[in-house]
Amino acid sequence: MRRILMNIALVILTAACSTEYRYEYSFSKPFVSNVTVDAVTEKSAILSGTVYRDGGQVVSERGFYLSTSAFEKNPPSSAQKLVAPGNSGVGKFGMEIVGLSHGTTYYVCAYAVNEEGTVFSSTESFSTKKVAKVILGDTEVDFLSINKMHPSIDHEYEYNWALRFPLHFEGVESLVSAGVCVDGKDFLYDKALPASDDESIVVDCSTERSPSGDVTVSVYAFAEDKVGKRLVSDPRQLSLSTMGVSLRPYAEAVETDWYSEPGKGYYLHFFEIGVKVTTGASNITELGVFPSSTYMTTYFKPDYFVENVYYNTTEVVRSSEPEVTLNTSGMGVLKNGMNFYGWDHYTAENMATSTYGVSAGYEVYFSEEFAGGLGSSFSAVANTQGSYTWAWDSSMQCAKANAYSSGSNRAANTSLVSKLIDLKNRTSAFLSFSAYAKYFTNVNEEVSLSVYSSKDNKWYPYSMDLTNDVSWEVKVIDLSRFLGDEIKLSFNYTSTEASCGSILLDNVEIFSSAKAPSASALFSRRRALQQNKLDLVNKERYENTRR
């Protein structure tokens, strides 16, 4: 037994002595971090990375690959190889790169090399800043001002232009302000600059007044960056011309009246306003007049304009004061498309009106404006034939009679009849109304007015004295024969299959006055009191719709 055990031990020892033991070490490529990009400017940036492990071999080189083409893993052959200084070993490395292009996107990765090969990090991208730049866009001449000067000044007129300049930017994030310089005078943009180069701004400015109607001005855009550096665009010479046009606005006080309604009263000052073209009429395509007291602008559009001719209209100023001053401007469009304005700075003293003794008053005691329907004052009646009656026109805000339907004329006979109106304690009575007649064969036979007398139990006919297809008309009828009576008004409309017109009726009033005002004065009065009606826009809208 003992011998057997010794033999076994000998076998084991012999086997152990015959086995060879070895230790093998595995090498690998190094491990490098992603790139960090700092301090990016228009032309430079700082790159940094870290070699965390050398893979068991000495890291012989480390650095970066830079390209303007996007890549994800291995850099393209066109990429620029940048070897970092102190390029061996484990740890941080970095470098500043210069000579970059501004406003450009770059793609970069880090790399490290040992005997096992080269390893690349993930790709990062960065964009260099744009060089701040301001660009002057195409000039827009907003309007020309023609200013009448004081007689003591040698030249009669002075001119200046309102200009608009769009500004575009590159590198706007580096800028704090911008504007336009016109002949040495800066016009600063007074709002915050846009947040990106995709947006632009518009700067309004004007030229200095000049006695010449044709001038050339020097213009450039400017901007200031965050360090106070002023950047400018290329200068531009801008030629401006009046095309020989000059004009003279004017205003003349005509009448002042007192308007009275229950609980209120005020003066109505009537002016004749207009504009006279003194030179360059052939170069004007549109001409108008703009009084400062009202929103309305009156444009004159004849086929041609003539020099030294006055183009005028009537304007009404409503005021609590017995005396007012009206300033007025002429305006228009030149053949080159430029708008122009002109005004006289020294005619105010000639435009002050007086009360002219103020008449006994203008007092309205019956009024229907048809603002929301036919109202409580009138009712529509179908008479002997047809089913067509007076109706309310919602778009025009007035009463309307029309029997044209489905492309055909229809026969109709309809009246718009008022409630009973008391004239018992009145000392004067005038009826006024506004009407627009169109498409009639004989308008004053197909449209008429009747007044009913309670005393006589009788209807009295009146002609409305309308003109077909002209414009809105204001008519005034003396009702003094009905003083002390109670009356009704009936506006009558008749149509046939041969003749079928359209009539618009608005602003029916009965009022007392020391004298009968003119229709033109009442038209102006209506425009002042009811600015949403009797506007020339209504005429245009009506003409554009056949019925």
pLDDT tens-digit readout, 133-187:
888 888 777 777 776 655 455 556 778 888 889 999 988 888 999 999 999 999 9
CA distances from 146 to 158, 168, 273, 298, 334 (A): 6, 31, 18, 19, 13
pLDDT for the residue numbered 353: 43
Assign 173 to helix, strand or coil.
helix
Residues 179/222, Cβ–Cβ less than 8 Å: yes
At 17, which helix (H) or strand (E)? Answer: helix 2-18
Which domains can be identified in the chain, with CATH numbers?
Answer: 31-127 (2.60.40.10), 133-241 (2.60.40), 250-350 (2.60.40), 362-544 (2.60.120.200)
pLDDT digits (tens, 9 = 90+) for 524-533: 555 444 433 4
pLDDT(213) > 90:
no
Give pLDDT, residue 418. 95
Spatial CB neighbours of 386, under 8 Å, sequence gap ≥ 6: 403, 410, 411, 412, 413, 414, 495
For the segment 444-462, the average pLDDT, to the nearest whole number, is 96
Q: How much of the chain exceeds pLDDT 70, in percent? A: 78
189 confidence band (pLDDT: 50, 70, 90)? very high
The Cβ-side half-sphere exposure at 234, using a 13 Å CA radius, reads 3
- Residue 539: predicted pLDDT: 39
pLDDT of the residue at 257: 66
94: Cα separation from own chain's centroid: 55
Cα–Cα distance list, 493 to 32, 380, 388, 466, 508 (Å): 98, 11, 10, 13, 16
Mind listing the pLDDT tens digit for each residue in 313-367?
777 777 777 777 777 778 888 888 888 877 654 333 333 443 333 344 567 789 8
Judging by DSSP bridges, how do beta strands 362-368 and 408-409 pair with one another? unpaired
* Number of neighbouring beta carbons within 10 Å of residue 333: 16
Q: For residue 418, give both structure tokens.
A: 């008022």
Quote the CA–CA distance of 375 and 284 in Å, as a whole number: 46
